[in-house]
Amino acid sequence: MKPQNLTTVQTAKDLGLLPEEFERIKEILSRVPNFTELSIFSVMWSEHCSYKNSITWLKKLPKDGPRMLAKAGEENAGLVDLGDGIGCAFKIESHNHPSALEPYQGAATGVGGINRDIFTMGARPIAQLNSLRFGDLKNDRTKWLIKGVVKGIGDYGNAFGIPTVGGELFFDECYQVNPLVNAFSAGIVKAGETVSATSYGVGNPVYIVGSSTGKDGIHGAAFASKNITEDSVNDLPAVQVGDPFQEKLLLEASLEVIKTGAVIGMQDMGAAGIICSNSEMSAKGEHGMVIDLDKVPTRQENMQPFEILLSESQERMLIVVEKGREAEVQAVFDKWDLNCVQIGEVTNTKRLVYYRHGEMVADVPADDLVLGGGAPVYQREYKEPAYFAENKKFNIEQVLEPEDLKAVADHLISHPNIASKRWVTDQYDSMVGTSTVTTNQPCDAAVVAVKGTDKAIVLTLDCNSRYVYADPEIGCEIAVAEAARNITCAGGEPVAITNCLNFGNPYVPEVYWQFVGAIKGMSKACTKFETPVTGGNVSFYNQSSDEGPVFPTPTIGMLGVMDDLSTLTRSDFRNQGNLIYLIGESKNDIASSQYLASFHKIAASPAPYFDLEKEYAMHQVIKQLIKEKLLVSAHDVADGGLYIALLESAMPNGLGFKIETDEAIRKDAFLFGEAQGRVVVSIKPENQEALVELLATSETEFSFLGTVTSGDLLIDDTDFGTVKEASAIYNNVLHNILGD
Amino acid sequence: MKFGVVIFPGSNCDEDIIYVLEKIMGQQVVRLWHKDHDLQGADFIVLPGGFSFGDYLRSGAIARFSPIMQEVIRFANNGGFLLGICNGFQILTEAGLVPGALLHNQNRKFICRNTYLKAQTNNSVLTSQVDLNKALKIPVAHGEGNFYADKNSIEELKQNDQILFRYCDAAGNYTDEANANGSIQNIAGVCNKARNVFGLMPHPERAADSLLANQDGLAIFESILSVANA
């Protein structure tokens, strides 16, 4: 190789590597790397690909469970056994940095990437969700961001043809500069039809299929591993461009080519492009590859070797094929009019060797590039931030109870965090595939039927990041518990989770403390609920230079299963005169509630009341009530407290409620506090005795709240208006700010 | 009855309509690939929803030139039954097989939600069994579904009884609010003058399975079968 291409420690720094990492690379190669090789290390050792600052803690998460078919880190996504020979692959991933710069393409390619992670395993995606967080909605830049992100997700997901069935939307000023865009997908695969991201068999051909490779997204993974600054605009070429039509063709062709049985291994090309797929597949299969970069179909002339290797052009796959069966593979991609080009072959060297114009341009050992191999692993320092002790000083007595609680109710229903999200959800095709059971039957989690079986998967994304900021450990326990509660209320059985860990700069000890706390909380709660962590993604550096880090946001994507739809439980009140009960305990608690944060504008408070053991016990009671068919509806108490939970159950069918509060508890805490572990249920009057009997024998607290009315909202005989009035506000909050 | 469902690259409601025709209505269905020239003896052709060829140009503008479409157009011109749903309707207007055009939704956004529609006539294969007084709950999912035709064409459609469905509210009133995409006179579906080609923006196949707790779309499929089998 040409000596003039040799690099220095300054080149390494410019590529985002540390001086000690440059030394380590020289040791691995026993020489100074050239620019192409150094580029390879810089992306593979970026936080995004190597998890170097998080893996020590991620390893502490519970990964085992009776239903796990592929554990965290083994494949592109976790794979869970649904029974009867059916598996579900599911995963969540962030696209925060690209979306901050170019919301439309940033969000769109996030959707494309997560779906490729699913179908590269042989699973056909059947449902998508997304979790979005923005700054103040009244801000013009926020409006631009949300419009672009939602249109990007919609245009990509709608054309791709997989329904978007649920998700989250949350606003807080901490996300002003750095919004969060987390995309989730779940797919179904028959046992024995999965494909692994591996490569072996000397002489087996290596194919690149799908779109051509362009100069987009180069160093995207490294870009995702930096703070956002005013210079970030210079990183615009690091944002990729999506083409959902190509993705749809690639989906069909990939699933068809797997059926031929000629595929040894397959991996999509997302972050860090060809080099990432080459190295991860080769390291897993303990083989090497020799690749001729001249063969890669490119969009531009004269691309440099590092550009071809690092390009994050979308809608591409790397496939290793059994030698002699090339024609079968070619025929499938010809049918779908997609590129399918052999670019190299498998070797026994465990090294990746690249040629360009007949000249060797890079020679690196595969294993040293990847997580679990030679990629660096760091222990980061962490330190409790000063705000944590301040939060604990909060006392409800310092907050004066408002005289007009109807004004609080009106404030909450007109707050974008509480109000209807239909401005967003109407832009997503939520019904294509005709399996979305929850279209006409609202539930606390999305329920999607698995065609050809009696089963359904039950999906939810949850994280109240205000709680996690207040107390990372308890806040993250709550995120897991809320996800399990939603799945349980819908009539499903929680099975496993995927996580998207959005945090600030890991080199800031106070930020890393939030990360460590969240991992501890997640471990504890996932162990309790027997929902192992199947994988996900870590997104650090979600902070700007002047506004500090975002709230620590470990988004939990939980998968539940329903063996048949007989346990499906809706969240809406159905009939006037039905009785309303609260399962769980009312508490004199308003900590970290939407009410405290936006009505009283008090930011310093601990996480709301939460007891993991009682929460778990309460879920078992709900399951029992569902099994005994005693419930008409079940809806968990979450953001906005009991009042909002009641209203959300009332609105779908234009019904109301008449309830009594508890004298032992402050009325504002009773109605708007967000103490955890509570579910509002409605029942037919004739089932009251059976319900009370079942609950009385359990350890779980419960109380009678009142009855379902024809539309009036009455609390201790105080008039809170009608459901019609409340709905009119609730349904139009986002429209009034964002326009039609 | 033998149905043929055309599959373009980018079709994504093809399996949904096939599921309803096969599993719920118990009919024989053949899949017609866009590169083929053979309709495989189908008696009734369906162009399904989706984003044929990505719809990066006008929706449906490219699909109409595909090899299978040349056969489908010939089939329709000879009186064969042809239904286009959503993107299929867009392809039909691009091919000039039904009148009118489908513009961007009035709010310039993709819209997916339940809408209500009422059949305007029983004098069509699609609506023969549909209760004209019932507001059917059938979802839409499109970015370009805003039906437009000039004044004379609309008059002609009315005179020839070619308007099959109009958007209404749950109570059956033809309001602006119920007209999600801004279609002229709330028009959701039409047929050609010869009454053998049908275009429909809403998705009846998304309202046909008891699993989804909404079977209002079944009346349309039952109509098709009753006429075809008569």
Rounded to 10 degrees, the C-alpha dihedral A298/A304/A306/A310 comes to -30
Tell me the pLDDT tens digit for each residue of B119-145.
Answer: 999 999 999 999 999 999 999 999 999
- DSSP, collapsed to helix, strand or coil, labels residue B40 as coil
- Supply the pLDDT for residue A542: 95
- Cβ atoms A441, B213 nearer than 8 A: yes
Q: Do the strands A712-715 and A718-722 form a parallel or antiparallel pair, or are they unpaired?
A: antiparallel
Say how many C-beta atoms besides its own lie within 10 A of residue A297's C-beta.
Answer: 15
- Supply the pLDDT for residue A230: 60
- Supply the pLDDT for residue A222: 62
Tell me the pLDDT tens digit for each residue of A449-487.
Answer: 999 999 999 999 999 999 999 999 999 999 999 999 999
Fill in the DSSP letter of residue A698. S
> A647 pLDDT exceeds 80?
yes
Cα A241 to chain centroid distance, Å, stands at: 21
- Supply the pLDDT for residue A202: 97
Note whether B10 contacts A159, CB cutoff 8 Å.
yes
Amino acid at A670: F
For chain A, the farthest-separated pair of C-alpha atoms sits apart, in whole angstroms, at: 86
B103: distance to nearest CA of chain A, Å? 17
Which of A371-403 are b and which e, b meaning 16 or more Cβ less than 10 Å from the residue's Cβ? Answer: bebbbbeeebebeebeebeebeebebeebeebe
- Supply the pLDDT for residue A225: 63
| Residue A700 structure tokens | 């779980």
In residues, how long is chain A?
A: 740
Closest CA to A553 of A612, A606, A504: A504
Which chain B residue has its CA at the smallest distance from A433's CA?
A: B16
Q: Do the strands B163-168 and A718-722 form a parallel or antiparallel pair, or are they unpaired?
A: unpaired
> A235 pLDDT exceeds 90?
no
Instruction: pLDDT band for B229, please (50, 70, 90 cuts).
Output: low
- What residues in chain A have their Cβ under 8 A from chain B's Cβ atoms? 151, 154-155, 158-161, 243-246, 248-249, 336-337, 422, 426-437, 439-441, 449, 451, 565, 740
Which of B146-179 are b and which e, b meaning 16 or more Cβ less than 10 Å from the residue's Cβ? Answer: bbebeeeebeebeeeebbbbbbbeeeeeeeeebb
- Supply the pLDDT for residue A260: 95
Strand order in the sheet with A351-356: A263-268, A316-321, A205-210, A339-347, A288-292, A351-356, A359-365
- Cα–Cα distance for residue pair B52/B12, rounded to 1 Å: 8
| Total-model pTM | 0.96
Instruction: pLDDT band for A521, please (50, 70, 90 cuts).
Output: very high
- Percent helix, strand and coil across chain A, each rounded to 5? 40, 25, 35
- Supply the pLDDT for residue A351: 97
Note whether A159 contacts B55, CB cutoff 8 Å.
yes
* Average pLDDT in chain A: 94
> A220 pLDDT exceeds 70?
no
Tell me which of B86, B94, B142, B144 is the catalytic residue. Answer: B86
> A231 pLDDT exceeds 70?
no
Q: Which of A336, A426, A565 sits opposite B9 (nearest CB)?
A: A336
> A224 pLDDT exceeds 70?
no
Mean pLDDT for the stretch of residues A348-357: 97
Interface with chain B: mutation pick from A149, A255, A334, A431, highest number of B CBs within 10 Å: A431
Note whether B9 contacts A249, CB cutoff 8 Å.
yes
Note whether A158 contacts B9, CB cutoff 8 Å.
no
Mean pLDDT for the stretch of residues A694-720: 97
User: Is A287 among the catalytic positions?
Assistant: no
Instruction: pLDDT band for A236, please (50, 70, 90 cuts).
Output: low
- Rounded (10°) angle between helices A244-259 and A103-119: 10
Least confident of A62-71, A170-179, A420-429: A62-71
- Burial label, A427 (beta-carbon count in 10 A; 0-12, 13-18, 19+): buried
- Cα–Cα distance for residue pair B23/B221, rounded to 1 Å: 13
Mean pLDDT for the stretch of residues A306-314: 92
Note whether A431 contacts B203, CB cutoff 8 Å.
yes
* In chain A, % of residues over pLDDT 90: 89
Tell me the pLDDT tens digit for each residue of A27-80.
Answer: 999 999 999 999 999 999 998 899 999 999 999 999 988 888 877 777 778 899
Strand order in the sheet with A124-134: A68-70, A78-83, A86-94, A180-190, A124-134, A164-171
- Supply the pLDDT for residue B145: 97
Instruction: For residue B53, list chain A residues with Cβ-Cβ distance below 8 A.
Output: 245
- Supply the pLDDT for residue B228: 63
- Cβ atoms B104, B90 nearer than 8 A: no
- Supply the pLDDT for residue B60: 83
- Cα–Cα distance for residue pair A47/B90, rounded to 1 Å: 46
User: Is B205 among the catalytic positions?
Assistant: yes
